[in-house]
Structures are given as structure tokens and as C-alpha cells.
Amino acid sequence: MTDTGRQAVAVGVLVSGNGTNLQSIIDRIESGELLARVACVISNKADAFALERARRHSIPAIHLDHRQHQNREAYDAALVDALKSHGVELVVLAGFMRILTPVIIDAFPNRIMNIHPALLPAFPGLHAQQQALDYGVKVSGCTVHFVDAGCDTGPIIIQAVVPVVEGDTEDSLSRRIHKEEHRIYPEAIQLYAKRRLTIEGRCVRIAPAD
């Protein structure tokens, strides 16, 4: 581990699927653009390809099966244990298809980030890209935000804009949004790592770079 590595923010990434956002984070760390280290990757699904991505980069890859816990709170308590035992400071949700309870939200106050494929507060919840197409907006995008107790309601860190073009499908729009996700999620984590983020009310203030 390099000297930078020792100072880097320990990130725990929660996943359920492919893990392309996880990959973009790993890539930015390895290129030196992001001052963080992935301390562990945890999936509620055993076959999530994100776990394989973690193993390929020698990152602890943990399967925590939600079906083996009595309720959401018990599962989240297990998540907290796993995250803390790996020294995680910042929790990053990267396609984690579970609703979080206060058990984990309170254990990491303003230290859980999520990315959502729309310009919140527009189109929260599932199928945001299809919601945007159905509404007929001409621009959409993605939002990195801190997680609070609501559904996609927490303080916004970065938003990126993506045009909706004639003939777009959920798939084509999602791909265009994904590209921006892979850019802004590492940026948001870097802002956190550089201690540039503060929360006032429900607004995230970004301090100037040194």
C-alpha cells in the first residue's frame, strides 16, 4: 500500500448486480484520480458480477444473504457489522437493490452515498429512465446524493445532465446516463475524500479546491 493509500478514505461498496459504478470507482483509484480505497464490496446476491470484479482487484468480496435474516433491521445490522469490521468510513451504494433502514443510516450519518439515474427531485424510485421518457422531458441525467430516510430525497452532491433525444428507448437513455454516472460518482467520493463537503439544512456546500 502506498502512502496515499494509507491516508485514503475507506469506502464500502454495496451492490446487487453488475457493478459498473464499482468498476469506475476502482479504475479511478488505480489511476490515482480518486484518493480512496475500497475496503470491501458487499452484495445481497451471491451471483452479483460486482463480487467477481472485487475479487479481480483483491478487494474483500462478501455475500450477505438478506434471506438469512429475520427482517430488514437484522440484515442492516449485519451490514453495519461487516462494514465496520472492514474499517469503512464512507458507504457507497452502487446498484444495491435494498431499502435501507435507520439501523444503517444512523450508523453512518451523512456517510452513505447513492446515485440515481435522474435529475432528482424528478423521477425518484424505480425505472427512473422510463419515467422520464413517459413524462416527455427533454433533459434527464443522474444525481449523487447522501442517503436519508426518504426514497431518493437526501442532500444532493453532484448532478450531471444528459439530453433525451428523439427515438430514445429506456435502454439508449440508460446507457447515456450510465456514462455520466461513471464520471460523477468518483468525483463525489473525491470531494468527500478531500473534506470539501458540508451539509447545511438539506443543501450540500462544496468548498473550493485548495
| Residue 201 makes contact with a second copy by CB under 8 A | yes
Helix axes 20-30, 49-56, angle to 10 degrees: 10
Closest CA to 34 of 54, 13, 9, 53: 9
| Residues 197 and 204 sit within 8 Å (Cβ to Cβ) | yes
- H helices of the chain, where? 3-7, 20-30, 49-56, 72-85, 102-107, 128-135, 170-193
Which positions are annotated as active-site residues? Answer: 116
Query: Taking the complex as a whole, how short is the minimal distance between the CB of residue 87 and a second copy, in angstroms?
Result: 30
- Residue 179, Cα to own-chain centre: how many angstroms? 14
| Residue 139 makes contact with a second copy by CB under 8 A | yes
Q: Return the residue of 136, 150, 209, 210 that touches a second copy, per CB under 8 A.
A: 136
| Residue 124 makes contact with a second copy by CB under 8 A | no
Subset of 55-114 contacting a second copy (CB under 8 A): none
| Residue 159 makes contact with a second copy by CB under 8 A | yes
Instruction: Please say which residue, 27 or 152, places its beta carbon nearer to a second copy.
Output: 152
Q: Return the residue of 1, 99, 203, 209 that touches a second copy, per CB under 8 A.
A: 203
Identity of the residue numbered 73 = E
Instruction: Please say which residue, 12 or 154, places its beta carbon nearer to a second copy.
Output: 154
Site residues, a second copy (CB under 8 A): 119-123, 133-139, 141, 155-159, 161, 166, 201-206
